[in-house]
Structure 1
Amino acid sequence: MLTLADELVLLAYDDDGTCRLGKPSLGYGLAGAVLVELAIAGRVDVVDKRVAALSTVPIGHPVLDAALTTIADDRLRKPKEWVEKLAKGLPDDVLDGLADQEVLRREQDKVLWVFPRTRFPSPGGVEPPVETEVRRRLAAAIGTDGPVDARTAALCSIIRAVQFDRTVFAAQPRDRVKKRLKEISDGGWAADATRKAVEEVQAALTAVMVAVIIPSTMTG
């Protein structure tokens, strides 16, 4: 089973193992994806501006279940706090999971023959079929009008929040991409029971990205 976080990682990494979404943006995006997935699954909700665990029944995915346990065992926190907290170490966990499923390949080497490094290229250096399907879904969502399925809409919203859309949708007209992503993000794709939680997570993700981008533009 591919999670939203898995899909975001596949989009972020080229087939040679090069990451095109820098730190900490990738970690924040993955944390947002995990929170959205838990909300869609009915495991968490946002109550009085705090994330609360509704159920600790495992989903059956190690990354999601670990995040759910952490949320359930911790104090109530705002979505922004959880995005920042869950982001730590999350890229490695998601990459390891994809390598365990043989969607990506784990390679060990050294930079300048001294510093250990782990890379995650795709097997055979070609795009994994599951990534091709993700890109097909995204292209269809941008290229057509009308409703989008919940998972694709969630992924579109996360891509937009971490400002990765210029890369993911580079082949499509920029004006169309911006307009369509806004329509999708603002649309009623989330079920009523989870809509508030999803919106709160999206707002939190946007907020942490603003906190990253403003200092970089001031010092750049």
Structure 2
Amino acid sequence: MTASPPVQPPAPTLPEDLLLLLFQPRSGTIAGENTLYYVLAGAVLADLALDGRLTTTDRGRLSSVAGRAPVDDILRPAWDYLSDKPRGAQTTLAAIGPALREPVLERLVGRGDLHREPRRLFGLIRTTALREGANGRRVRLLADVRRVLVDGVEPQARIAALAALLSASGTLPQFHREIPWKSAVITRAKRLEQGDWGASAAAEAITRTVTATVVNSTVVAITVLPRS
């Protein structure tokens, strides 16, 4: 009997990639924890937009594209939420964001991108610490973002959105060792936030517009709205 081929895991979602980048291997912490749910929600919406599952109305509200529901259970709740009726981006970020951290983190652990390491606090209390996995995926993602922000390479659409969201998170200064925090980097990052991705980012104008709307709403949410 011929053995069945192994089932391949689904490709990582954009919120998975973003959370993996935000993980700081030296400290075992995640950068920007206090506004993380806004950023992860922005990544979910950007993922839907990049895949043609999200659009905007004439009033700038977000709406799901009928018949384009995602299978992934990290992305599906946002699509369902926006399929009921068009909603403002900031309202959507606040509604879908709080439930995202744990399932996205579990995905990263399940893939081997991150590991949970048992620890004892004060020698008594059992706890766990996060450690980077050995598969090198974070290193590769960071290299892709660095090539765009530091070397000025025109990005593919997904990396453009990832770099834009990383910039929107306000955590880029914490990546100074790998991505020097200088004026050219800041300028490129802001252009990506606005949807200026260059000719090589094969994405339709509507996709860039929706993603830019999401990213800029994330910036507003992080810098203006109350934090919880």
TM-score normalised by the chain length of structure 2: 0.79
Between 43-52 and 178-187, the greater mean CA deviation after superposition: 178-187
Would you say 1:208 and 2:221 are equivalent positions?
A: yes
Is the 1:99–1:120 Cα contact (8 Å) retained in structure 2? no
Would you say 1:99 and 2:112 are equivalent positions?
A: no
- Residues 17, 108 of structure 1: CA spacing in aligned structure 2 closer, same or farther, 3 A cutoff? farther
Between 103-112 and 58-67, the greater mean CA deviation after superposition: 103-112
User: Over the residues paired in the alignment, what is the CA RMSD in angstroms?
Assistant: 2.6
Question: Using CA pairs below 8 Å that are at least 6 residues apart, which structure has the higher relative contact order?
Answer: 1
Is the 1:42–1:55 Cα contact (8 Å) retained in structure 2? no
Unpaired stretches in structure 1, ≥5 consecutive residues: 216-220
In the alignment, the residues of structure 2 paired with residue 170 and residue 24 of structure 1 have an alpha-carbon distance, to the nearest angstrom, of 22
Runs of 4+ in 1 over 6 A off after TM superposition: none
In the alignment, the residues of structure 2 paired with residue 101 and residue 93 of structure 1 have an alpha-carbon distance, to the nearest angstrom, of 12
Q: Which amino acid aligns with 2:142?
A: R
- For this pair of structures, how many residues does the alignment match? 209
The 5-angstrom pairing of residues 69-80 of structure 1 reads: 69-72=80-83, 74-80=84-90
| Structure 1 counterpart of 2:96 | 86
Q: Percent of aligned pairs with the same residue?
A: 21
| Structure 2 counterpart of 1:29 | 39
Q: Which amino acid aligns with 2:204?
A: A
Is the 2:61–2:87 Cα contact (8 Å) retained in structure 1? yes
Would you say 1:153 and 2:160 are equivalent positions?
A: yes
| Structure 2 counterpart of 1:181 | 189
Q: Residue 117 of structure 1: CA displacement?
A: 5.0
Larger Rg: 1 or 2?
Answer: 2
In the alignment, the residues of structure 2 paired with residue 13 and residue 178 of structure 1 have an alpha-carbon distance, to the nearest angstrom, of 21
TM-score normalised by the chain length of structure 1: 0.82
Q: Which amino acid aligns with 1:183?
A: R
| Structure 1 counterpart of 2:50 | 40
Unpaired stretches in structure 2, ≥5 consecutive residues: 1-10
| Structure 1 counterpart of 2:63 | 52
